């Protein structure tokens, strides 16, 4: 913990907290050495990140599994098994996994198009994800949709529509129902740095804060929105500066640091469950691959910077190193976790490829619910 409860609590920033605001001045140039900030925009003390072995190993395995699933999907795409296109979240696995891993089984996840890790942490089986990408009848939408337009009802994961921004209001509504039900459950959603420009995001955050809904919103700031750079997307120093405009606490988190995200998101969800309303968390990562499998991203991405990120901030490597350095796991245990992940992904791929394509005779079924 960075200090007392009060220090990271839900009350909006005031006085001396905000005196630190000039910290943000040229944050974007300094993302590589980002300092994570709490709700009052003090650096977060990271001494108390969890070292609980079970938690750490669970998160490690989920992150590794996420990477393996995406790599497997990518190679399946190159082999022609993925109709349409595919997006990947490489670079944000830590943030996706460690946040969604804070949800209870009965809580809803409202993911975006790069949150493979969140799907996996919430229990969406890799074989179902693969079947979806492969357009098979056994996928969660029976082949009616593809790519990351994917949900999974058995684990309370919504499907997004393509129109970016729409999911924040949807998430607010999911949280509204939870609030009415009064069982102390919260919901979690994500939005990209590009997505923050969408009007729906504003409307959704406003609705959530006015109604004090149990919702955590993570801004996946991966420094690109397709081919658009951050400076063309917003003019403020940091997107957490939007939080006071809604009267909610805002955190800035190094999204390549899994255990830090786990702590901050976990605390935010706890506040949400306790009726203290929404929290905004800006998670800074980098999109380590192209926008989609088709994207010629070296056209517009600063490849040197990207390489440095991959060297210094790859979330998988960072977690490996952290576990090792902290004596939480041995090199063998870490290696074994990776091997198991790759095997699981491979098996899922094989199983999914055996599934049939949907029956065109049924194309007109299910337009209406009974």
Ligand X SMILES: Cc1ncc(C[n+]2csc(CCOP(=O)(O)OP(=O)(O)O)c2C)c(N)n1
Q: How many helices (H) and strands (E) does the chain have?
A: 12, 7
Helix spans in 32-80 (H): 53-78
User: What is the spatial distance between Cα 144 and Cα 14, in angstroms, rounded to a whole number?
Assistant: 49
DSSP 73-121: HHHHHHTT-S-S-----TT-HHHHHHHHTTS-TTSEEE--TT-HHHHHH
CA distance 234 to 237: 8
**Residues 78-117 contacting a copy of itself, CB under 8 A:** none
Catalytic annotation present for 246 = no
Nearer to other proteins, 218 or 334 (CB): 218
List the strands of the sheet with 187-192, edge to edge. 108-110, 187-192, 215-221, 279-284, 250-254
> Considering the rule CB under 8 A, would residue 278 count as an interface residue with other proteins?
no
Q: 21 touches which of ligand X, other proteins, Mg ion, none (CB within 5 to 8 A by kind)?
A: none
The question of whether 300 is a catalytic residue gets the answer yes
Active site residue 291: yes
When binding is defined by CB under 8 A, the residue of 73, 168, 280, 286 that contacts other proteins is 168
Size of interface with other proteins, in residues (CB under 8 A): 76
- Of these residues, 287, 313, 338, 349, which one is catalytic? 287
Look at residues 96, 93, 87, 225 and name the one whose alpha carbon lies nearest to residue 146: 87
**180 is a contact residue toward a copy of itself (CB under 8 A):** no
Q: Identify the residue among 32, 210, 274, 363 touching a copy of itself (CB under 8 A).
A: 210
**Which part of the chain contacts other proteins (CB under 8 A), choosing from 71-79, 119-127, 205-213, 311-319?**
205-213
Which backbone phi and psi does 139 adopt, to 5 degrees?
Answer: -75, 165
First to last CA, the chain: 50
222 binds, among a copy of itself, Mg ion, other proteins, none (CB under 5 to 8 A by kind): Mg ion
Span from 17-25, 40-48, 115-123, 361-369 in contact with other proteins (CB under 8 A): 361-369
What is the closest distance, in whole angstroms, from the C-beta atom of residue 212 to other proteins in the complex? 11
Among 28, 144, 202, 227, indicate the residue that binds a copy of itself (CB under 8 A): 202
The reply to whether 245 sits near a copy of itself by the rule CB under 8 A is yes
* Residue carrying the six token digits 């923050």: 196
Could you say whether residue 119 binds ligand X (CB under 6 A)?
no
Note whether 236 binds a copy of itself by CB under 8 A: yes
Q: Is 157 helix (H, G, I), strand (E, B) or coil?
A: strand
- Residue 209 binding target from a copy of itself, ligand X, Mg ion, none, CB below 5 to 8 Å by type: a copy of itself
Q: C-alpha distances in angstroms, 95 versus 60, 154, 331? A: 12, 23, 23
Q: Is 364 in the site for other proteins (CB under 8 A)?
A: yes
Within residues 183-202, the interface with Mg ion by CB under 5 A covers 192-194
Q: Name the residue nearer to a copy of itself (CB basis): 198 or 306.
A: 198
- Closest by CA to 2, choosing from 333, 301, 260, is 260
User: Using the rule CB under 6 A, is 294 a contact of ligand X?
Assistant: no
Q: Counting contacts by CB under 8 A, is residue 163 touching a copy of itself? A: no
Dihedral sign for Cα 100, 258, 198, 86, please. Answer: negative
| Closer residue to ligand X (CB): 37 or 288 | 288
- Quote the tokens at residue 236: 């403020």
- Contact with ligand X (CB under 6 A): which of 117, 143, 169, 194? 194
- CB-wise, 222 or 257, nearer to ligand X? 222
Q: How far apart are CA 350 and CA 279, in angstroms?
A: 40
How big is the CA angle at 56 (ends 167 and 238), to the nearest 5 degrees? 45
Instruction: Report the catalytic residues.
Output: 287, 291, 300
* Contact residues: ligand X, CB under 6 A: 114, 162-164, 192-195, 220, 222, 224-226, 287, 291
């Amino acid at each position: 913990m960075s200090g007392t409860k009060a220090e990271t609590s839900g009350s909006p920033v005031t006085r001396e907290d905000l005196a630190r605001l000039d910290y943000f001045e040229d944050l974007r140039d300094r993302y590589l050495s980002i300092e994570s900030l709490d709700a009052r925009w003090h650096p977060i003390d990271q001494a108390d990140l969890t070292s609980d072995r079970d938690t750490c190993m669970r998160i490690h395995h989920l992150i590794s599994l996420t990477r393996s699933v995406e790599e497997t999907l990518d190679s399946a795409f190159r082999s022609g098994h993925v109709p349409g296109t595919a997006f990947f979240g490489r670079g944000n696995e830590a943030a996706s996994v460690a946040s969604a891993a804070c949800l209870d089984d009965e809580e809803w996840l409202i993911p975006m198009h790069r949150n493979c890790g969140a799907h996996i942490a919430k229990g969406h089986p890799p074989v179902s994800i693969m079947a979806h990408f492969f357009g098979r009848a056994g996928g969660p939408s029976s082949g009616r949709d593809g790519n990351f337009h994917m949900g999974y009802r058995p684990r309370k994961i919504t499907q997004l529509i393509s129109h970016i921004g729409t999911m924040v209001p949807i998430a607010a509504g999911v949280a509204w129902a939870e609030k009415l039900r009064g069982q102390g459950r919260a919901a979690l959603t994500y939005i990209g740095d590009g997505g923050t420009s969408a009007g729906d995001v504003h409307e959704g955050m406003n609705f959530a804060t006015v109604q004090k809904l149990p919702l955590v919103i993570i801004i996946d700031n991966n420094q690109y929105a397709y081919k658009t750079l951050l400076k063309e997307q917003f003019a403020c120093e940091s997107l957490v500066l939007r939080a006071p405009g809604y009267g909610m606490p805002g955190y800035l988190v190094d999204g390549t640091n899994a255990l830090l995200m786990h702590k901050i998101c976990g605390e935010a969800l706890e506040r949400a469950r306790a009726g203290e309303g929404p929290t905004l968390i800006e998670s800074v990562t980098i999109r380590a691959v192209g926008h989609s499998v088709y994207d010629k991203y070296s056209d517009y991405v600063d490849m040197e910077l990207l390489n440095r990120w991959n060297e210094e901030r790859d979330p998988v490597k960072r977690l490996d190193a952290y576990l090792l350095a902290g004596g939480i796991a041995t090199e063998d245990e870490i290696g074994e976790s990776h091997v198991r992940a790759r095997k699981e992904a491979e098996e899922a791929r094989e199983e999914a490829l055996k599934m049939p394509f949907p029956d065109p005779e049924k194309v007109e079924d299910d337009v209406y619910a009974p």
